[in-house]
Amino acid sequence: MAIQVNSIRSEFPILHQEVNGNPLIYFDNAATTQKPKVVLDALQNYYEVDNSNIHRGAHTLADRATRQFEETRESVRAFIGARESAEIIFTRGTTESINLVAKTFGSAFIQKGDEIIISTLEHHSNIVPWQMLCEQNGAILRVIPITDAGELVWEEFEKLLNPKTKLVSVVHASNALGTINPVKRMIDAAHAVGAKVLLDGAQSTSHLDVDVQALDCDFLTFSAHKLYGPTGLGVLYGKRELLEAMPPFLGGGEMIREVTFEKTTYNTIPFKFEAGTPSIAEVIAFKPALDFITSTGKANIHRHEHDLLQYAVELLQDVKGVIPVGTAAEKIAVFSFNIQSMHPFDVGQLLDAKGIAVRTGHHCTQPLMRRLGIEGTVRASFAVYNSRAEVEVFAQAVTKIASLKNK
């Protein structure tokens, strides 16, 4: 089924504005997506009608808020195909989810001399927590190299796997280049040597069907704000047996069963990892975001976004001075590029003057940029509400900018 772009755009109030005298073209979706009105309404409705703390109250507002909060947990479970809602932990974002695993699973199951494998494609959030863990306990961090096109070198990954490998933590889809990694194959290979696997799904969950049982990943992390939901909310999926074996992350309310001055016993999952008052409004408002994606259809969204990516590539592939960065065979809708003799930031500002929002810089992937021999890129990333007409305006603007420097 073809995406009805105009109908979908009508659901996103922020898109109907001018920036610098031009209609807004929002191509910064890999950083954060815009929010449909059903999400905005849910946030407002919680604060106007149901505002109360959850799980602890006996009154009607607390009961309503708790019910809606847990309905979202069940929606997340269904969205990623988890066995049970207890395997869904709410955090503040993908970064906190990865840190949670590093601090808990890492401290309990990764020791001196053990090895952790990541890839050259990783966001800093999937590098720094593992570096910190290695500094603390003497584990060793290994890195999968990539090709010039931005694809993992499979043979080198196989060489890195060995009985000392305790964890493979890899991005499902690159935020900087769009590369889709062969994660099912990677998971199977890691499990063959006894390692666990964490998938950074911050980008993939908004573009691809992700079924944690079919993939058999041990952990999956992602953020609501990249799925048309609110900011400040993340998800950690973990297999029950692992979550139960891991120590708590933070101490405080909700994560306890009983507290005395002598000893504390901890709550069951998922509450063991959800200390303190959570982002209640954001969790409740995440459900209509997931409903929006489900009703639109992941396959339809992916097909539409892939068409926009291919159209952008087609329009710009022969433009003098435009240098695509990341040309993997399998990609999400991310078009990363540079213009010869121009700094990415300058290109971004010139596009902004035309009302076109893109991201510039290293995209929190400095090691990747060093591997590619560049400081950064200009990144246009597409979403369900973007159109071919917008891609045409973008391509015309990029072509004009390139002509200024490459006559």
Q: What is the mean pLDDT of residues 223-236?
A: 98
Residues 212, 88: Cα–Cα separation, whole Å = 12
Q: What's the CA dihedral at 231, 233, 238, 242 to 10 degrees?
A: 130
Q: Minimum mean pLDDT among 265-269, 285-289, 385-389: which range? A: 265-269
Type of residue numbered 173: A
User: E strands within 316-355?
Assistant: 322-324, 334-339
Q: Place 406 in a pLDDT band, splitting at 50, 70 and 90.
A: low
Q: What is the mean pLDDT of residues 159-170?
A: 98
Task: List active site positions.
Answer: 364
> Could you report the per-residue pLDDT of 69-91, keeping only the tens digit for each?
999 999 999 999 999 999 999 99
pLDDT of residue 405: 66
Domains and CATH numbers, the chain: 5-30+297-405 (3.90.1150.10), 40-294 (3.40.640.10)
Q: Minimum mean pLDDT among 231-235, 252-256, 335-339: which range? A: 252-256
Type of residue numbered 386: N
324 upstream amide cis, omega within 30 of 0: no
Q: 64 in helix, strand or coil?
A: helix
User: 310-345 in b/e burial notation, b at 16+ Cβ within 10 A?
Assistant: ebbbebbeebebbebbbbbeebbbbbbbbbeebebe
* Residue from 246, 110, 105 nearest 166 by CA: 110
Q: Place 58 in a pLDDT band, splitting at 50, 70 and 90.
A: confident
pLDDT of residue 264: 73
